[in-house]
């Protein structure tokens, strides 16, 4: 098991390019299944979640070839429509294959997905939306047997909450449902827009992504393969911005749309950072002494992203003044709180609310990151803390960050991976 050894207290300076977005590339790779032919996806980050997705595609019969950050997926000949539990357990977004397989093969067999432990993560909305389109889904001891085929037809489905994954699953399944599918109450995250753009590049008639109503004009003719470049990762960008906010310095993050990060940069500005934006660039200057800000409530896009909650909390914990966080998306997304306390943070937790009292500085410690963003938050805290930290849980970081330590070293951070 390897760890990051971080010696804190160095300011971060320079430029960093955000990797391709994890939460875009996973559904886009699943969507390549729809087209019998070879799609080519660029800006594909090197992540363990991507490796699992490519393994699933290979197992289903696709020919997959990776050349640097470009992946070619030839889905001409699918040989099966079942995904074994071993791969389903690896990550939550494996459930997106349900919609893609129903559209391409008319059938799918898989088990309940795994992923980061953020409290219960049901898939009831995915299943009820697909059933509303005509899919027959049987559940037997954690195994889902789904049959679609000619029974599936376009229709209107209202999502009671804007689930990102359920929106994506319906968009994919709807591609081969004859007629118009309308998703009301859709998730509005930028990753949904990226998926729409890829589907359009495949010739699918889909519109409305980025707003609450998405329409897909489906038919039984499968779309054609496409070349596509995945957008930049807003949460990876938020990670670098929070890190420089905490350590002090000046960093420009490139390759990401500033408007995707407004909720995060507004908070960093309120905490005392200077932020400049230009197309696909965000530059942040910080003294390294952040102050408390007005309550931060996580919310669906364009609200403050739950994925950046731990990162901002870590940055503020060593500052001054207090900040209240309210986590509204997931039941259990405070796994970073205990390890941050071990680094000297003063955080009081009550249900979904956490109040952070800035202590004026954290100290290094040996800590474990229990999920992807919790682990990244500990790296953020360690870069600003006095002394040395050892952070375990790198298997979580590898799920979502391509070269986090390498990029932070290039900015002047003292971080190395050790066995
Ligand atoms: N929910 C249900 N039923 C469902 C689906 C969702 O009750 O059928 C609930 C969830 O339990 C949760 C809320 O709805 O409380 C939102 O879940 P959503 O479906 O939107 O999340 P997701 O699709 O599972 C994606 C990202 C997450 C990100 C969330 C929210 C991917 C692969 N994952 O998850 O990313 O936190 O949206 O924005 O796109 C991460 O990158 O660290 C990460 C966890």
Alpha carbons 87 and 296: distance in angstroms, whole number? 35
Is residue 267 part of the annotated active site? The answer reads no
**Cα separation of 311 and 219, whole Å?**
43
Q: Is the pLDDT score of 122 beyond 90?
A: no
Distance, CA of 397 to CA of 187 (rounded, Å): 25
Is the distance from the beta carbon of residue 124 to the nearest atom of ligand 1 less than 6 Å?
A: yes
Instruction: Report residue 258's pLDDT band, with 50, 70 and 90 as the boundaries.
Output: very high
Sign of CA dihedral 190, 186, 22, 396: positive
Residue 114 confidence class, pLDDT cut points 50, 70, 90: low
Q: Which 8-state DSSP code applies to residue 7?
A: E
CA distance 215 to 183: 6
**Tens of pLDDT, residues 209-252:** 999 999 999 999 999 999 999 999 999 999 999 999 999 999 99
Tokens of 206: 């889909």
Nearest atom, ligand 1, residue 168 CA: 23
Structure confidence at residue 70 (pLDDT): 98
Nearest Cα neighbor of 375 from 409, 417, 347 is 417
Cβ-Cβ contacts under 8 Å for 172 (sequence gap 6 or more): 27, 30, 31, 34, 96, 99, 100, 102, 103
Predicted pLDDT at 91: 85
396 Cβ below 6 A of ligand 1 = no
Mutation to probe ligand 1, out of 25, 165, 302, 336 (largest number of atoms < 8 A from CB): 165
Measured distance CA(323)–CA(311) in Å, rounded: 13
Atom of ligand 1 nearest to the CA of 235: 41
Q: Tell me the best of 20, 163, 308, 400 to mutate to test the pocket of ligand 1, counting ligand atoms within 8 Å of each CB and taking the most.
A: 163
Tokens of 15: 């430029």
Q: What is the pLDDT of residues 326-378, one digit of tens each?
A: 999 998 899 999 999 999 999 999 999 999 999 999 999 999 999 999 999 99
Residue 119 DSSP symbol: S
Beta-carbon contacts of 19 under 8 Å, excluding residues fewer than 6 positions away, are 43, 45, 232, 233, 236, 401, 402, 403
Average pLDDT on 123-133 reads: 94
Q: What is the pLDDT of residue 120?
A: 59
Indicate whether residue 123 lines ligand 1 (CB < 6 A): yes
Mutational test site, ligand 1, from 18, 23, 129, 187, max ligand atoms within 8 Å of CB: 23
Atom of ligand 1 nearest to the CA of 371: 42
200: enclosing H helix or E strand = helix 190-201
Model-wide pTM > 0.85: yes
pLDDT for 118: 58
> What domains are there in the chain, each with its CATH number?
3-19+232-418 (3.65.10.10), 22-229 (3.65.10.10)
* Packed helices 22-31 and 190-201: angle between N→C axes, nearest 10 degrees: 30
Q: Does residue 116 carry a pLDDT above 60? A: no
User: Does residue 165 line the site of ligand 1, with CB under 6 A?
Assistant: yes
Rounded CA separation 353/334 (Å):
9
Q: What is the DSSP-derived secondary structure letter of residue 128?
A: H
How far apart are alpha carbons 48 and 401 in whole angstroms?
A: 9
Placement of tokens 């930028």 in the chain: 190
Report long-range pairs for 165-168 (Cβ below 8 Å, ≥24 apart): 165/92, 165/93, 165/95, 165/96, 165/123, 165/126, 166/123, 166/125, 166/126, 166/129, 167/192, 167/214, 168/27, 168/96, 168/99, 168/192, 168/195
Which residue has 């393994």 as its token pair?
Answer: 55
194 lines ligand 1 (CB under 6 A): no
Mean pLDDT of the chain: 95
What is the distance in A from the centroid of ligand 1 to the CA of 125? 11
Q: Is the pLDDT of residue 400 over 90?
A: yes
- Average pLDDT of the segment spanning 242-271: 98
> Is 161's C-beta closer than 6 angstroms to any atom of ligand 1?
yes
Q: Determine which one of 116, 177, 267, 273 is catalytic.
A: 116
Ligand 1 atom nearest the C-alpha of 123 is 8
Closest atom of ligand 1 to CA, residue 120: 11
Residue nearest atom 25 of ligand 1, based on CA coordinates: 164
Residue 239 in contact with ligand 1 by CB distance below 6 A: no
- φ, ψ of residue 146 to 5 degrees: the values are -120, 135
CA distance readout (Å), 174 to 99, 145, 207: 8, 18, 12
The verdict on the CB of residue 234 being under 6 Å from ligand 1 is: no
Q: Which of 177, 161, 178, 118 is nearest to 327 (CA)?
A: 118
Task: Tell whether ligand 1 has an atom less than 6 A from the beta carbon of residue 399.
Answer: no
- Both tokens assigned to 395: 């298997």
Query: Among the listed ranges 113-122, 191-200, 368-377, 409-418, which one has the minimum average pLDDT value?
Result: 113-122
């Amino acid at each position: 098991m390897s760890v990051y050894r971080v010696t804190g207290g160095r300011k971060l300076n320079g430029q960093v390019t955000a990797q391709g977005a994890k939460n875009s590339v996973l559904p886009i790779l699943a969507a390549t299944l729809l087209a019998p032919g070879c799609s080519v996806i660029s800006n594909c980050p090197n992540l363990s979640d991507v490796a699992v997705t490519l393994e699933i595609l290979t197992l289903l019969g696709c020919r997959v070839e990776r050349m640097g950050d470009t992946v070619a997926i030839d889905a001409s000949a699918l040989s099966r429509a079942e995904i074994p539990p071993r791969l389903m357990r690896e990550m939550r977004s494996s459930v997106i294959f349900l919609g893609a397989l129903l559209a391409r093969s008319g059938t799918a067999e898989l088990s309940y997905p795994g992923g980061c432990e953020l409290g219960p993560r049901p898939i009831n909305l995915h299943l009820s939306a697909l059933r509303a389109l005509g899919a027959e889904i049987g559940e037997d001891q954690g195994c889902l047997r789904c049959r679609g085929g000619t029974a599936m037809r376009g229709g209107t489905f209202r999502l009671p909450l804007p689930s990102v994954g359920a929106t994506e699953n319906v968009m994919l399944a709807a591609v081969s449902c004859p007629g118009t599918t309308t998703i009301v109450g859709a998730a509005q995250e930028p990753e949904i827009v990226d998926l729409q753009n890829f589907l359009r590049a495949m010739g699918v008639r889909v519109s409305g992504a980025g707003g609450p109503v998405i329409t897909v004009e489906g038919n039984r003719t499968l779309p054609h393969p496409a070349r596509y470049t995945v957008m930049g990762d807003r949460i990876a960008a938020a990670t670098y911005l929070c890190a420089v906010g905490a350590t002090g310095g000046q960093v420009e993050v490139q390759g990401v749309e500033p408007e995707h990060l407004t909720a995060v940069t507004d908070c960093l500005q309120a905490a005392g950072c200077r932020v400049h934006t230009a197309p696909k660039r965000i530059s942040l200057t910080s003294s390294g002494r952040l102050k408390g800000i007005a309550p931060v409530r996580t919310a669906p896009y364009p609200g403050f992203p739950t994925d950046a909650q731990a990162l901002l909390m870590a940055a503020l914990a060593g500052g001054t003044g207090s900040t209240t966080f309210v986590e509204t998306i997931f039941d259990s997304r405070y796994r970073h709180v205990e390890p941050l306390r071990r680094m000297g943070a003063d955080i009081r937790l009550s249900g979904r609310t956490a109040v952070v009292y800035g202590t004026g500085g954290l100290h290094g410690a040996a800590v474990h990151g229990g999920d992807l963003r919790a682990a990244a938050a500990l790296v953020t805290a360690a870069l600003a803390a006095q002394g040395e930290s050892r952070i375990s849980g790198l298997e979580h970081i590898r799920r979502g960050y391509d070269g986090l330590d390498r990029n932070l070293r290039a900015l002047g951070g003292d971080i190395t991976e050790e066995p």
